[in-house]
Amino acid sequence: MNETTPVSPPVPAPPAAGARRFTAWPLLISLCGVLGVVALFLEGRPDANGSDFDYPVTAEDVLGLDHVPYRLSGALGYVLALALIAAAVTWRHRVERRFPGSSGASAVSYGVLATAALVTLAYGWRGAVGNYLPSGAEGDTYDAEGIYTYFVMTDFSPYIAFVPLLASAYGLAWMALRERLVSRGLGALSGLLATALLLAVFVTGVPGLPAMIILGLVVAGVWLAFGRSPITLAQP
């Protein structure tokens, strides 16, 4: 009796680049970048009023901060987390399922989802600062040292939350240079930006510098929407 070997379904080959046309869904990636920039820089700092501020920052210095930017940043961070999840779902539907052999596409998804989780925590802490500052809704909950602890937690955590997006940038670079699914220009730019930010951390010791990858989200979304990457040109 002859046995037949099961055959795996064929992996779709990268489609040939066609005429340039607009594709709307990548703009969700750009929206995440814009939300990230606004949420990141919505904060207050004790040294914001002048360069002659006396360091170190004390608990009493933190008590003078305005709670409104922190409340807005915390709420916008939650919107960003949901937008990142929506972007990951869209990427999964539009790219990963159509090109199941692409490891770069999976790296993009994992980086975005990890970022969404970290953003939820980091911006939740920012919202807590806005809630517990003396002018906030629950300003009588903690003493100066307690509020200071929350402030220190938000010093770099909203910046560190975007580190997993470096993996997404390298995923795009792999998709471009190895798998030929993304414009090579976009892939090269993504890889160079991620590498430059990592090197900047090693050189300066500043852990929040990778957050600047969110500017790359804005560029990547627009590039995919208006460019000639196979993953968008092949959409039905």
Residues 6 or more apart whose CB falls under 8 angstroms from that of 207 comprise: 156, 159, 160, 201
pLDDT at 181: 95
Give 13-54 pLDDT, tens digit per residue: 444 444 457 899 999 999 999 999 999 999 887 876 555 667
Cα 77 to Cα 158: distance, rounded to the nearest angstrom: 9
Sketch the domain layout of the chain as residue ranges: 27-45+56-233
- In contact, 165 and 190? CB cutoff 8 Å: no
Please write the tens of the pLDDT for every residue from 127-145: 999 999 998 888 888 888 9
- Between residues 46 and 178, which one has the greater pLDDT? 178
Q: In the chain, what's the furthest Cα-to-Cα distance?
A: 88
CA–CA distances in Å: residue 95 to residues 20, 63, 146: 18, 48, 46
The model's confidence at residue 8, banded by pLDDT at 50, 70 and 90, is: very low
Given pLDDT bands bounded at 50, 70 and 90, which one contains residue 158?
very high
Report the C-alpha gap between 163 and 212 in whole angstroms: 9
65-120 pLDDT per residue, tens: 899 999 999 999 999 999 999 999 999 999 999 999 999 999 999 999 999 999 99
CA dist 144 and 60 (Å) reads 7
